[in-house]
Chains A and B, each alone.
Chain A
Amino acid sequence: MSRRAAFRRAGAALVLTCALALPALAVQPDEMLGDPGLESRAREISEGLRCLVCQNESIDESNASLARDLRILVRERLLEGDSDAEVVDFIVDRYGEFVLLRPTTGGWNWILWAAGPAMALLALGLAGVYVRGRSAAPENTPPLSDAEQARLRQLLEDR
């Protein structure tokens, strides 16, 4: 487990029976590549890959040894000359789409991606109908009573 897992529980002030948060050190100096260009690509790729034994944490942030192995693997592939997409595919082939923190748009996942915009359009449509109705509706204030009419006349005459 990881500090994220610990955080999740702690944030909720829950029982923490098995939290084993390790000291927060993710990328270690000895893993880093000498070429800053490659290293920054490696960092970017790692931020999008999920640590499999952690909760919702990328391998870039994780302290788990599996995450370290994956970070080293990503860097090895980059040194071999793989493109970013190839590195990601390589990892997904081995560990499944679970590692992708950014879900694909394939299959039913389009629902996930379309949900927000679709809901916004729907809400806008409904609100448009409502607002039009409101602006077209007659002002339904009750007509003035006789007493009020008289008072109004009096006020106007006083001017």
Chain B
Amino acid sequence: MITELGHFALILAFLVAIVQMVVPLVGAHKRWPGWMAVAEPAATAQFLLTAAAFAALVHAFVTSDFSLRVVTLNSHSAKPMIYKFTGTWGNHEGSMLLWVLILTLFGAMAAWFGGGLPPSLRARVLAVQSSVATAFFAFILFTSNPFERLAVPPFDGEDLNPLLQDPGLAIHPPFLYLGYVGLSICFSFAVAALIEGRVDAAWGRWVRPWTLASWAFLTIGIGLGSWWAYYELGWGGFWFWDPVENASFMPWLFAAALLHSAIVVEKREALKAWTILLAILAFGFSLIGTFIVRSGLLTSVHAFANDPERGVFILMILVFFTGGALTLFSLRASTMQAKGVFGLVSRESALVANNILLAVSSFVVFVGTMWPLVAEMAFDRKLSVGPPFFDMAFTPFMLVLGLILPVGAMLSWKRGRAGRSMRALVPAFLLALALGALVWAMQTGRSALGPIGVFLGAWLVGGAATDLWSRTGQNGSVARLLRLPRADWGKAVAHAGLGITMLGVAGLTAWQQEDIRVAQLGERFEVSGFELELAAVEDVRGPNYLSTMATVILRQDGTQIATLRPEKRTYPVAGMPTTEAAIDYRFLRDVYVVIGDAQEGGGWVMRTYIKPLANWIWAGCILMALGGTLSLSDRRFRVAAGARKSASAPVPAE
């Protein structure tokens, strides 16, 4: 019964979306206030109906209703409750429903908080947003209906993939989608502005909070996914340049570029056409990501043929929205005249450089991801493009970005003087150089990666601190530092976060140690200064798995510092083993232990990794997201919220 209500709510939401797509658009064109006003209640209704449908699906998962096909395929009655709940989006249909739920949530939020927008722009934004929603409602209802029943319900389900039964991964998709889908609002704003034919500073200010929020969510989502890969996959890799990862990374890079170019629109009314283009591309790449993931095109060309219906449907959505928006852009871009004038050395130019680096590096990722497909179709060559390519082709852009960032961040608007901002940065630069040289002298290997990472990390953090301090004026004080606008803090924190992440990536890649051996019970062995002892191995029963759990005692300088329990689990229902690494998290290095198979001659295979600076990668991600949040809470966005109230006060009849 609840399932049918959910299904019905989803169909109603689809119908409301169609109305919201058409009526306000016509109203905005004809200047009919009544028609334009339809958008707001429709957006709210659409969200509530989708939420009802989603709640119905959650209910089916939580109560293990095996008459639903998705529940049978992805759940099991013995699964812990938390994973029954999060299992709702651990499958194609459910995750699509979460996707549109967030899409309609953003639409509704634009309706609720968009009181200060000109009515015609607001109506157009909501109509464009709803057109995206319409396409995805149709996709769900016609190709991936989560409410499909089974004629003969089985006694029990086939269980969720054990790799997904993990707290980190349970919350990873919602964050990722909040980021991906949040970019849809920027897209809607861009298309609405193109229809409207007007982009000004106010537009830049409206788009920026949405971009900031999406980018911060995407940062957290990608960070969580990367952390999960680190602890769950059993050897501590954190990034694989896998097509699916690239699919989330490309929108992130574009969102970062958009975030910065929207500042130029807001403050200086320049880079307008480019910012519109970025907003279209950022969401376009979200759609490409969805397409890559759902169609299986890049996983294997054959998987695409296995499910042509879904793949082709998403491809059509992608072509329609990106193609349509780009066509509109080519027709209207020339009407957007830049107003602001700025010199070659200025904050504006620095932000242009930032945009070039981010957009080109994203382009490199895109070409690398798609190349195997192009090579096979055009030149009949089956080849691979793996991490070595991306490391070589992508990294230089990030190095340059890190190098110029602190200088660009301190240049003044309009006409800056490079000498002045550089002088302020001399201490930070020397400190970074000294740290890099120190590390270079201390390390044993020949790799330049570690010292460069240390230099960049220190340079970015020091640069951010210098920037912040310089804002306190001639006689700076801590009290004045704390009173700085939150946007300044956000900028500094996010830039420092980037430095920390770069440092973590470089440190982990350059100085990782590995030890593979057969360990006997009670045997003690040493791995770069740590002493490990395999104390015991026993069989343990979990709620829905069987586990071989080892007890490893970790000692440093003769004193015990941790007891680690790596596991090898088997999930009988899913028929799948997993490895649960045990990690001793530390500030400067992690000790990462994995237990393997029992050997015929006695003993177990044991892998030990020393992972320097691993936590810094994710600490940096958290800082970046925190920086975004701080900027988002800046007074000028909140003041704009206050201004909205007065703007929406009754207006005399015309």
Contacts and interface: CB of A to CB of B under 8 A. Distances in A.
A19 interface: yes
A21 B577 CA distance: 7
B363 A119 contact: yes
Contact of B382 (A6, A23, A98, A130): A98
A120 B400 CA distance: 12
Interface in A70-93: none
Interface stretch (B275-283, B323-331, B386-394, B405-413): B386-394
Contacts of B154: none
Contact of A9 (B161, B341, B379): B161
Given A16-B161, A116-B397, A7 B233 contact: yes
Contact of A116 (B163, B342, B363, B378): B363
A7 B235 contact: no
Interface stretch (B130-138, B238-246, B469-477, B641-649): B238-246
Contacts of B233: 3-4, 7, 24
Contacts of B92: 14-15
B245 A11 contact: yes
B167 to A, nearest CB: 14
B651 interface: no
Contacts of B568: 23
A20 B576 contact: yes
A28 interface: yes
Q: Which of A7, A12, A123 has the most CB of B within 10 A?
A: A12
B343 A101 contact: no
B45 interface: no
Interface in A55-73: 55-58, 61
B242 A56 contact: yes
A102 to B, nearest CB: 4
A23 B386 contact: no
A112 B379 CA distance: 13
Q: Which of B169, B378, B379, B516 has the most CB of A within 10 A?
A: B516
B245 A109 contact: no
A152 interface: no
A15 B91 contact: yes
Q: Which of B91, B173, B240, B359 has the most CB of A within 10 A?
A: B240
B360 A116 contact: yes
B273 to A, nearest CB: 10
Nearest to A55: B299
B387 to A, nearest CB: 6
Interface string B72-93: 0110000000000000011110
Contact of B379 (A23, A96, A108, A115): A108
Q: Which of A11, A25, A27, A131 has the most CB of B within 10 A?
A: A11
Contacts of A58: 386-387
A140 B268 CA distance: 13
B339 A29 contact: no
B375 A23 contact: no
Interface in B346-397: 348-349, 352-353, 356, 359-361, 363-364, 367-368, 371, 375, 378-379, 381-389, 392-394, 397
B515 to A, nearest CB: 10
Contacts of A23: 234, 568, 577-579, 596-597
Contacts of B392: 102
A124 B299 CA distance: 34
B594 interface: yes
B242 A50 contact: no
Contacts of B338: 134, 137
Contact of A3 (B74, B234, B353): B234
Contact of A107 (B359, B379, B579): B379
Q: Which of A4, A7, A57 has the most CB of B within 10 A?
A: A7
B244 A8 contact: yes
Contacts of B363: 115-116, 119
B91 A115 contact: no
B521 interface: no
B402 interface: no
Interface in A1-60: 3-17, 19-29, 32, 48, 50, 55-58
Contacts of A15: 73-74, 91-92
Contact of A123 (B73, B160, B240, B359): B359
A11 B360 contact: no
B95 interface: yes
A27 B386 CA distance: 20
Nearest to A139: B341
B388 A11 contact: no
Contacts of B388: 48, 101-102
Nearest to B225: A11
B607 A100 contact: no
Given A8-B299, A116-B364, A134 B342 contact: yes
Contacts of A24: 233-235, 579, 594
A116 B367 CA distance: 8
B234 A32 contact: no
Interface string B573-587: 001111100000000
A124 B355 CA distance: 10
A150 interface: no
Nearest to A26: B235
Nearest to A6: B163
Contact of B384 (A7, A22, A56, A61): A56
The 10 closest A-B pairs by CB, nearest first: A24-B234, A101-B386, A102-B388, A16-B161, A116-B364, A13-B173, A24-B579, A12-B293, A25-B596, A123-B356
24 contacts: A4-B233, A4-B240, A10-B161, A12-B244, A13-B91, A13-B169, A16-B160, A16-B164, A22-B577, A23-B579, A56-B241, A99-B384, A101-B387, A103-B384, A103-B385, A104-B383, A113-B393, A115-B364, A116-B393, A119-B360, A119-B364, A120-B360, A123-B359, A127-B356
Given A26-B235, A112-B385, A116-B361, 15 more contacts: A8-B242, A13-B95, A14-B92, A19-B161, A21-B578, A23-B597, A24-B233, A29-B517, A48-B388, A50-B384, A101-B384, A102-B388, A108-B379, A119-B363, A119-B364
